[in-house]
Structure 1
Amino acid sequence: TDSVVLNHYQELKLKLANKDDRWMDLCFRVFDDGVGFRYEIPKQERVDSLVILDEITEFNFAQSAMAWSIPANYESYEFLYRTCSLDSVQSANTPITLRTDDGTYMSIHEANLTNYAGMTLINKGGNNFECDLVPWPDRIKVKAKTSLMSPWRTIMITDHAGELIESHLIQNLNEPSKIHDVSWIKPMKYVGIWWGMHLGAETWTMGQHHGATTENMKRYIDFASSYNIQGVLAEGWNTGWEDWGKLGAFDQTTTYADYNFDEVVAYARQKKVELIGHHETGGDILTYEQRMDTAMQMLSNHGIRVLKTGYAGPIPKGQFHHGQWMVNHYRRVVETAAKYQLMLDVHEPIKATGISRTWPNMMTREGVRGMEWNAWSEGNPPEHHLIIPFTRGLGGPIDYTPGIFDIKYEKRKRYVRWNSNDKGNSRVNTTLAKQMALWVTLYSPLQMASDQIENYEGHPAFKFFENLPVSWNESRVLAAEIGDYLAVARRNDDSWWIGTTTDEKARVLELPLSFLKTGINYQAIIYADDADTDLEENPAAFLIHHDRVNTETILTVKMVAGGGQAIKITPLKE
């Protein structure tokens, strides 16, 4: 999130050989805030293929710690995070983050996951964890030709929780950009035909409640044009949703009869709004790889520069979403998208490991239990948003899709309770002010206002998103404790944007604004929980007030349970 990143480290490479003169290199890089190490097997005589049966990398901790993690899973990262002692964690997907008893913060992950299997961790006893690679169907872990490089195994080490978020260690352990002209890669805000399907108000399939119609898209385009929003997404525009799970079901170039592709493209161009393409695969990877070039070229030919992909569903041949075969597929998609100058937002992805440095068109990805879970389950608890920046977020940007204003779904229209996962207790477990703050605390260069647009029209709080940038010159964590509270400030030119959030406890934070320029007065527009805001009974109540601030100011931020504040700070013209 910073425009300039320091990549400063010390490196050591050890050559290891056995009695048969087979050899590999063990490479270490030590940064101010952690370490990375990896295995490199160079090309050598009499070796025409490489097979990794196991990787016996261990992480042994000398003292106990509190840990935040999700269970190891070969298919998904969409779980609630556990807060428990490190020795009680039986398995984990990475990143796993911990705080030792002496107050040191650490996070175990991997960087530059390329042509290799994803790493999970298995507890081998006490505080001893061993790498467990996601296997091929024949249980082999990794297959290569004459040479191989493992991903970097990373350990972030900091004195304060916020320094984990500020670290660029994962990004720095990836290669420089392979895209020479990056002028077409531009962050943007977007809305879309999406949330209504999760609520059950609309459907992906064509019918009475179909969401992605020509008429509805024009309505969203008009809204985006009026509210300084660059992009509009439509899911369910192409045929195949009614045949989910069948081989060859999805056709990423054929529209439903009520969606006129050319008409929508022309209308968006007239309104100077970008369209965001959508390719769902349903897990049918083989068919998608056959159609991918044609489908991406179709978008590019029509001036579409952003593509969201989806992989919900079982994949073929006994493979796993996080195994080497799929890791390589996800990379082919990124490389093919770059060929057609398409920026990517990947859902059901492989984990983020910093490859956006190498392929900067890889803008954002899901890989987390995101907003949609609030539509058809008991939802994500308030502490969830206070854990994922310190875990999943350390790997790269998160497309969490924040911004629901109709917190308890009281204003939903044409509601059809079609989803059996909703037991009648579904809602968003935050206040409205916290939803706004998440636009700042959960970084994504493609940032969505995810609610149905009728809940935004004429709403005074939506001005915050209307003015919000999505690219930042610098970011600072002002206050942080994992699972409890977080305050993040981000600068765009001379203006600052602050998001503060809390868990299920009401809190007051004192935030010094010493990072502002000396001698300049600023106006702070503060969107806050109101005196009568209540997470259970009145979560949508909020207050807007204006303050005059400068570098000497200490902001008192009051948040109710599940609440937050969203703050815009701009220089005063005097």
Structure 2
Amino acid sequence: MRKIIFILLCLLIVNTSVAQNLNSPDGNLTLTFRLNDNGTPSYKLLFKGKTVIDESKMGFTFNSLASFTEKFVITDTKFSTSDKVWQPVWGEQKDIRDNHNEMLVSLNQTSTNRKLNIRFRLFNDGLGFRYEFPVQENLRHFTIKEEATEFKLSGNHKAFWIPADYDTNEFPITISKLSEIADLIGKVRQEPLAAKAPAPGLAIQTPLMLKSDDGLYINIHEAALVNYPAMALNLDDKAFCLSAHLTPDKNGNKGYIQTGTVTPWRTVVVSDDARAILASKLILNLNEPCKLEDTSWIKPVKYIGVWWEYFTGGSSTWAYTDNPDIIIGQTDYSKLKCNGHHGANTAHVKEYIDFAAQNGFDAVLVEGWNEGWEDNWAYAKEHIYSFTKAYPDFDVKELHQYAASKGIKIIMHHETTSSAINYERQLNDAFRFMVDNGYNSVKTGYVGPIIPRSEYHDGQWMVNHYLYVAETAAKYKIMVDSHEAVRPTGLCRTYPNWLAQESARGTEFESFNGNKPDHTTILPFTRLMGGPMDYTPGIFQGDLSVYGKNKAKLSTTLVKQLALYVTMYSPLQMAADLPENYKRYSDAFQFIRDVAVDWDNSYILEAEPGDYITIARKAKGKNEWYIGGITDENAREAVIDLSFLPKGQKFHATIYADGKDAHWINNPQSYTIKTVTVTSTTKLKQRLAPSGGVAISIK
């Protein structure tokens, strides 16, 4: 009898160790999970019979514990399906469908009797999987040495990449074959940035966009990054295998974990149509539903600000004085003489408030309002700024009343110079100060190396910090726009007051010739896969030499700047240029005044990463549509199919187009505006100049 039971148990283990298959709802994607002869977990992903991810290993290595990569048996496999529609607080569309098939595999490591679960979700647009550590007797607290997850590719794909760096996401994007990255990465890493901590070895960042020779578009990233370090990717450029590279602290530890928790989802979005990559909502679907009971106070924002003037090379500065001998908490600014070019002064901010009110904007961002900017590059200092004390020439009460009388909000700015621990000490006082003075949104900044000094921007401690700021802000009904933070992973679904992030190379780099014409044709396929970006478009005066010292020139035409309001999705959109430039080009400025920041639906009309994007969107609750089309350094003809319009109706379309002689290098401000009648059967053909665009409003 005992022999029979033993044989049955052996058969059970063998049977539960065979390959497990999972198909997407439409049947185009197939996931295979299995254990190899050594009990190592692995998975494989096919799309329409083509290999997306070849057999790739899974698991972990721990500090001071046996490896969690082998000698597993499958103890249970559960399948389920889900098909539901949910409504985001704001977004690219009012309804999002979550349709997936799920497989939960329960594993037991026979050598240690430790348990590990792996949950797979297969959508029509890709795969998400995460590790789950159940509470168990033989494992409670542990430290991750590395995550062993692999993404073994089928060939030498074209890649759109930046180097893996623990402290910055602001490198320019390079396009190359995977095999060419090793020869290029050293030069790319020389880019001068405020803080850099290069990952050792050959490693690149996520979201990573790839295109295979057989026509597959593949995007690799993560979703729901909570209490865990951000993931970069090691590259084996001979086998074309990527593997997880978690951001460590400066002691080399990757993550401090306890059972009863889960990892972020590892995501693979795939299609043979580039438009489907941009349309994917897989990462949002893998995040938890909204945790805020009341979201009525969360509103998308279109804003201007005392900001770009600091970059143009004029005389405006963040600092009140030119005195470097400032000690926060001890220096009495009322006894100091203003330098005469402090931008955030009461009279100047009122000018911005007036302009915002006259042109239908919601808010005005003011940088440099608070004490401490004289010392803002002192990265080694823990206490630089006060977040409750304004400079003498910035009258908080008067500006609150003045802005309120005009129906305008002022956006608070909290630059921390990466002294995150000091920011946390002041956080509740800072948010109470905001509430008391009528502020409902804040732009946070993390320039420079992190304090605590043992941490990086993308490590577990800072991942928790950014979320703590968003959670705390929600308690005060404050919206957050975080700059220099870890790249987003869809947490804006769970915390919709976290409106946007920078976390990439934005418009400010244009002020020192830092972006290329193809930059914004790539970002929607890379950085924006995880969530909206505060890119700050709308620069009309692209030749900064007109201001004096700065000789930089923008890498776009004026019309391309208009189109970015549609192609670079964000519920937080800035008209970043100086008001006088909008007055000079008031007819083109009309598009920025009109364009929506929240949408009922979005239609990806044309897309090829690194080359061009054309997107149409329907404004939330209105019979208005806006279209943006952009191209790289090559001129092209966009074909704009208006079949998304209601049938049987006529509409007026105002087309903002590059002039015949427009060119981003020598004639960026050449444009034309015309109005035509269109219907759902109309197909517009529009020439885009080199690094040019087209912007269309339909009413």
Structure 1 runs of 4+ aligned residues shifted over 6 Å read none
Matched, 1:34 2:126: yes
**Corresponding residue for residue 270 of structure 1:** 405
State whether structure 2 residue 617 is matched by structure 1 residue 482: no
Q: Between 195-204 and 84-93, report the one with greater CA deviation.
A: 84-93
1:471 to 598, 607, 613: 598
The letter of the residue matching 1:82 is T
Distance in 2 (CA, whole Å) between partners of 1:409 and 1:524 is 32
Does 1:120 pair with 2:255?
Answer: no
Partner letter of residue 471 of structure 1?
D
Question: Is 2:285 aligned against 1:204?
Answer: no
Q: Over aligned residues, Cα RMSD in angstroms? A: 1.2
Within 5 Å, give how 1:126-275 maps onto structure 2.
Answer: 126=238, 127-201=240-314, 202-206=316-320, 207-244=339-376, 245=378, 246-275=381-410
Q: Provide the C-alpha distance between the structure 1 equivalents of 2:252 and 2:516, rounded to a whole number of angstroms.
A: 37
**Contiguous gaps of at least 5 residues in structure 1:** none
Whole-angstrom CA distance in 2 between matches of 1:50 and 1:65? 36
The residue number in structure 1 matching 2:442 is 307
| 3-state secondary structure, aligned to 2:672 | strand
- Given that 2:640 and 2:683 are in contact with CA atoms closer than 8 Å, whether structure 1 keeps it comes out as yes
Q: Which has the higher contact order (CA 8 A, sep 6+)?
A: 1
In the alignment, structure 1 residue 455 sits paired with structure 2 residue 581: yes
Report how far residue 211 of structure 1 moved. Answer: 0.8
User: How far is 1:411 from its partner?
Assistant: 4.7
Is contact 1:530–1:542 with CA below 8 Å preserved after alignment? Answer: yes
Q: Which amino acid aligns with 1:436?
A: L
Q: Do 2:417 and 2:446's aligned partners in 1 also have CA atoms closer than 8 Å? A: yes
- 1:503 aligns with 632
**Equivalent residue, structure 2, for 1:18:** 109
How far is the alpha carbon of 1:49 from its aligned partner?
1.3
CA contact (8 A) 1:192 1:220 kept: yes
Q: Does 1:106 align with 2:218?
A: yes
1:434-449 alignment to 2 at 5 Å?
434-449=560-575
Instruction: Tell me the residue number matched to 2:498.
Output: 362
Partner of 2:655: 526
The CA distance in 1 between the partners of 2:101 and 2:623, in whole Å, is: 35
Contact 2:490 2:530 in 1 (8 A): yes
Listed as ranges, the gaps of 5+ residues in structure 2 are: 1-91, 182-201, 321-338
One-letter code of the match for 2:127?
Answer: V
Which residues of 2 match residues 534-549 of structure 1 at below 5 A? 534-549=663-678
TM-score, normalized by length of structure 1?
0.96
SS in 2 for 1:454: helix
Q: Deviations over 1:488-528 (max 9, x none)?
A: 00001211100000100111122221111110001110111
Deviation at 1:319, TM superposition (A): 1.1
Contact 2:554 2:664 in 1 (8 A): no
Q: Is the 8 A contact 2:313 2:544 kept in 1?
A: no
Residues 518-574 of structure 1, C-alpha deviations (whole Å, 9 max, x = no match): 10001110111012222222211111011111111110111110110110011xxxx
Preserved CA contact (<8 Å) 1:374 1:380: yes
Aligned counterpart in structure 2 of residue 286 of structure 1, from 415, 421, 435: 421
Deviations 1:1-24 (A, max 9, x none): 111000111111111111332101
Q: Secondary structure at the match of 1:53?
A: strand
The answer to whether the Cα contact below 8 Å between 1:175 and 1:357 also exists between their aligned partners in 2 is yes
Cα distance in 1 for partners of 2:155, 2:384 equals: 52
Q: Is the 8 A contact 1:86 1:98 kept in 2?
A: no
Structure-2 separation of matches of 1:334 and 1:531:
47
486-495 vs 457-466, which deviates more? Answer: 457-466
Contact 1:379 1:427 in 2 (8 A): no
Deviations 1:370-400 (A, max 9, x none): 100111x223111001111111111110111
2:556 equivalent in structure 1: 430
- Alignment match, 1:43: 135
The more displaced of 18-27 and 46-55 is 46-55
Structure 2 residue 160 is the aligned partner of structure 1 residue 68: yes
Q: Distance in 2 between matches of 1:167 and 1:211?
A: 41
1:353 partnered with 2:467: no
Displacement, 1:406?
Answer: 0.5
Deviations along 1:269-301, one digit per CA (max 9) or x if unpaired, are: 011101111101001111111001110111122
SS where residue 263 of structure 1 aligns?
A: helix
Distance 1:119 1:409 in 2: 37
Cα pair 1:411 1:455 within 8 Å, conserved:
no
The DSSP-based 3-state class of the residue aligned with 1:363 is: strand
- On the 8 A contact 1:50/1:147 being kept in 2, the answer is no
Q: For each residue in 1:440-482, what CA deviation from the matched residue of structure 2 results, as whole angstroms up to 9, or x when unmatched?
A: 1001101000001111125211111111110000111101111
The two structures have a TM-score, normalised by structure 2, of: 0.79
Aligned residue runs from structure 1 range 331-410, under 5 A: 331-375=467-511, 377-409=512-544
What SS class does the counterpart of residue 473 from structure 1 fall into?
strand
Q: Secondary structure at the match of 2:97?
A: coil
Give the counterpart of 1:318 among 440, 449, 454.
454
Are 1:109 and 1:155, in contact at CA under 8 Å, matched by a contact in 2?
Answer: yes
Q: Percent identity, aligned pairs only?
A: 42
Letter in 1 for 2:635: A
Correspondence for 1:5: 96
Change (3 A) 1:226 1:411: farther
CA–CA distance in structure 2, aligned partners of residues 292 and 552 of structure 1 = 54
Number of matched residues?
560
Cα drift, residue 430 of structure 1: 0.6
State the alpha-carbon separation in 2 of the partners of residues 561 and 62 from structure 1. Answer: 34
Residue 410 of structure 1, CA deviation: 5.5
> Hey, what does 2:31 align to over in structure 1?
none
Letter in 2 for 1:112: A
CA deviations 1:10-53 (Å, max 9, x no partner) are 11111111133210101100000000111110222254412111
What is the deviation of 1:226?
Answer: 0.1
| Aligned-residue offset at 1:318 | 2.6
Larger radius of gyration: 2
Q: Which region of structure 1 is more displaced relative to structure 2, 80-89 or 254-263?
A: 80-89
2:632 aligned partner, one-letter code: D
1:217-250 per-residue CA deviation (whole Å, 9 max, x = no partner) reads 1000000000000010000000111112232111
Counterparts of 1:265 and 1:411, CA distance in 2: 33
Could you tell me which residue of structure 1 aligns to residue 53 of structure 2? none
Partner of 2:58: none
